[in-house]
Amino acid sequence: MDDFVYAATDPAELAEYRDEVETWMNENMPRRDPVNPWHPTHDDDLKSTRNRELQRRLSDGGYAAVCYPKEYGGQSLTIAHQRIIDDVSMDFDMPILFSVPTLSICGPTILECGTEEQKQRYIPAWIRGDELWVQFMSEPSGGSDMAGALTRADRDGDTFVINGSKIWSTFAQRSDYALMLARTNWEVPKHRGLTMFIVPIHHPGIEIHPIQMVDGTEEFCQEYFNDVIIPAENVVGEVDDGWTVASRLLFHERAAVGNASPYTQGRHRNRSADGLDDLADIARDFGGNVGRQRQRLGETETLSRVEVLLSDRVVKGIESGYFPAPAGSLVRLFHGVSRADRLTVAMELHGDRALVWNQGEDTGSYGVEFVQRQQTCIGGGTTEMARNIISERILGMPRELAADRDLPFNQVPRSG
């Protein structure tokens, strides 16, 4: 991570910056409606258009992606400045769609591994709100084994021809570009034959199929690639060394999911999972076992506070060298497990009102979030993967047995 992101900052300067942000937000950003009725569906086209507009406002005001270097459209400020923006903006309508994965996962990966031409071309476009990005990493047959990618990219002069399929890509149908990992060498072990590509999504040969979720939304997609021609200049890093780039992408993904990234921007108040006052109001309104409610509210508050402290500790520890880079999995693991538990608490406090509700009420949001509670234990790498990383790369425990290690990928047995 860049040193400037974590540089010490004078408290008086930060206080002045907070005043500036508050003044600008009140004059330029729309406030969120606190009583806006919740509904399980939304217009994805409208959401995308709205986020692009809001991102442009932030950029024009100088408050978009402030931890990015100035030469690419950022402000070269610290994570402390970004957290002030996040705190002040919690009651405003923010372009959250740009935060993850465009600015906090794809962005820093290009910043670290891309060519100067790629940085100059793409980073300013993200910050201005012109282009949304997504990740093409997971595959239908791969599960959590990203390095076992079967999507292939065959070299043809100055281009690559891509065939295969990716899945679980967030809002791919509304995005413009993707970072995609594909296999370019089948005669070496799986980690050594991958290449990372920049892929324009709405491109000849690419089919996008939205996947409907339990709440009626279509957040994820599956993509099919049929002889998709991509120029060699779209390679990120080196050919056959895509795992190095993917490893950095995964680092930034865990940091973003675990709320430890300096590149995320804005966050909305989540009443069901993180607001102690809101949960306490629910408990008072709906009655029930007061002693049990107090206990569960205490657990929720403890989890929330520990997560904030853990995030700060890991961020500073990685920057100082006290923790290795994989320590981001500590935050990612705690966030996934604790948020699932907080959503369970909210469901308990709401009771049957989260299962059946009247038109115009928003109590159903708690029930739907409860059904989806495990997504925080899956997205950004499962909690099982996080535990493996912590045990092997932080605690130094023996690695799990892998039958395909050091075996040329074209010799790895596979079904079908």
Query: Average pLDDT in the 135-146 region?
Result: 88
Output b/e per residue, 204-239; b: 16+ Cβ within 10 A.
eebeeebeeeebebbbbbbbbbeebebeeebbbbeb
Same domain assignment for residues 142 and 120: no
pLDDT at position 82 is 93
Residue whose C-alpha is closest to residue 264's, from 98, 135, 379? 98
Residue 37 has pLDDT above 80, yes or no: no
Quickly list DSSP for 223-236.
EEEEEEEEEGGGEE
Same domain assignment for residues 151 and 31: no
Residue 89 has pLDDT above 70, yes or no: yes
Give the CATH number, domain containing residue 37: 1.10.540.10
Task: State the DSSP code for 92.
Answer: B
Give the CATH number, domain containing residue 138: 2.40.110.10
Domain stops at, among 76, 109, 131: 131
Residue 271 has pLDDT above 60, yes or no: no
Whether 192 is in a domain gets the answer yes
What SS3 state is found at 172?
helix
Q: Domain containing 187: what range?
A: 134-248
Residue whose C-alpha is closest to residue 228's, from 160, 180, 173? 160
- How many angstroms separate the CA atoms of 123 and 353, rounded? 45
Total domain count for the chain? Answer: 3
Same domain assignment for residues 107 and 186: no
User: pTM for the complete prediction?
Assistant: 0.86
Whether 414 is in a domain gets the answer no
Domain stops at, among 131, 161, 190: 131
* Of 105-119, 126-140, 150-164, 391-405, the least confident: 391-405
Q: Grade residue 201 by pLDDT with cuts at 50, 70 and 90.
A: very high
Whether 400 is in a domain gets the answer no
What SS3 state is found at 367?
helix
Whether 261 is in a domain gets the answer no
- Cβ contacts of 218 within 8 Å, gap of 6 or more: 44, 173, 210, 211, 212
pLDDT digit string (tens) for 337-367? 988 888 888 888 877 877 887 776 767 777 8
pLDDT at position 187 is 97
For the chain, what is the mean pLDDT?
87
pLDDT at position 402 is 81
Paired residues of 183 in beta bridges: 152, 194
What SS3 state is found at 346?
helix
Same domain assignment for residues 292 and 365: yes
Same domain assignment for residues 334 and 279: yes
Same domain assignment for residues 359 and 334: yes
Residue 297 has pLDDT above 90, yes or no: no
Same domain assignment for residues 125 and 9: yes
Same domain assignment for residues 124 and 195: no
Same domain assignment for residues 283 and 224: no
Same domain assignment for residues 202 and 290: no
What share of the chain has pLDDT > 90, as a percent?
A: 54
Q: Grade residue 321 by pLDDT with cuts at 50, 70 and 90.
A: confident
Same domain assignment for residues 12 and 123: yes
Whether 255 is in a domain gets the answer no
Whether 411 is in a domain gets the answer no
pLDDT at position 276 is 52
Same domain assignment for residues 154 and 212: yes
For residue 224, give the amino acid letter: Y
First to last CA, the chain: 42
Output b/e per residue, 22-58; b: 16+ Cβ within 10 A.
eebbeeebeeeeeeeeeeeeeebeeebeebbebbbbb
Whether 407 is in a domain gets the answer no
Query: Average pLDDT in the 310-336 region?
Result: 87
Whether 29 is in a domain gets the answer yes
Give the CATH number, domain containing residue 370: 1.20.140.10
